[in-house]
Amino acid sequence: MVERTVEWANKVADAKKNCPKLESKLQEELKELRKKHDAGDCNSFAPGTLVLLADGSTKPIEEVELGDRVVATDPETGGG
């Protein structure tokens, strides 16, 4: 049992030693993935997408202002 405990302790020590290397490699991989899959401006909707306002009118999404009341349900499912 002592032998297995020492073996386990050595594996833990090796893992701790390699963690900074692994973290650095993961950070580099993440940076490369972000370059490959750039989301641009991260807009969920294309400019010109019409938004249904609470009064029944519509306006392009880029014209929606803070305080505008919009309908926030999915017309197909009724979910919100």
- What pLDDT is attached to residue 35? 81
Encode pLDDT of 52-78 as tens digits. 999 999 999 999 999 999 998 776 776
Cα–Cα distance, 72 to 52 (Å, whole number): 8
**pLDDT band at residue 39, thresholds of 50, 70 and 90?**
low
Provide mean pLDDT across the span 2-10: 86
The structural domains of the chain, with segments of one domain joined by +, span 1-38, 44-75
Provide mean pLDDT across the span 14-39: 83
pTM of the model: 0.41
- What pLDDT is attached to residue 42? 64
Torsion of Cα atoms, 25 then 31 then 33 then 38, to 10°: 180
